[in-house]
Amino acid sequence: MHDPHCLFCKIIVGQIPSRKVYEDDEIFAFHDIHPWAPVHFLMVPRLHLPSLAHAQSEHAALLGRMMALAPRLALEQGCKPYPEGGFRVVVNTGLEGGQEIHHLHVHVMGGPRPWLKG
């Protein structure tokens, strides 16, 4: 299910170009266009799910796959390994949570202290 007005849905189907990091039948990952860290990419479900607040029990496996995939992709994109290196995973939810695009997305950020910006 796609929303024809959703920016991330358009990226997933190739209507808007992106710098792809990964894709499979359920997940699409691409570089953030305004990175806050040396490594900063987004992981989105192909399914249009407006936010984490909309996730139900039937989405548990998808969310688990996204979290399990994040460490592998972070390393592939240049993050140093745990424990000296690492990365940050952020899911903004709703307007007060800082969500700007209403399609669930997971920010994966790594490098020297990227979260000092906010």
Q: Which residues are catalytic?
A: 105
User: Tokens representing 64?
Assistant: 């688990």
Q: Where are the alpha helices (DSSP H) in the chain?
A: 7-12, 60-76
Listed as own residue / partner, the contacts of 11-20 with beta carbons closer than 8 Å and 24 or more positions apart are 11/44, 12/44, 12/46
What is d(CA 9, CA 45) in angstroms, rounded to the nearest whole number?
A: 9
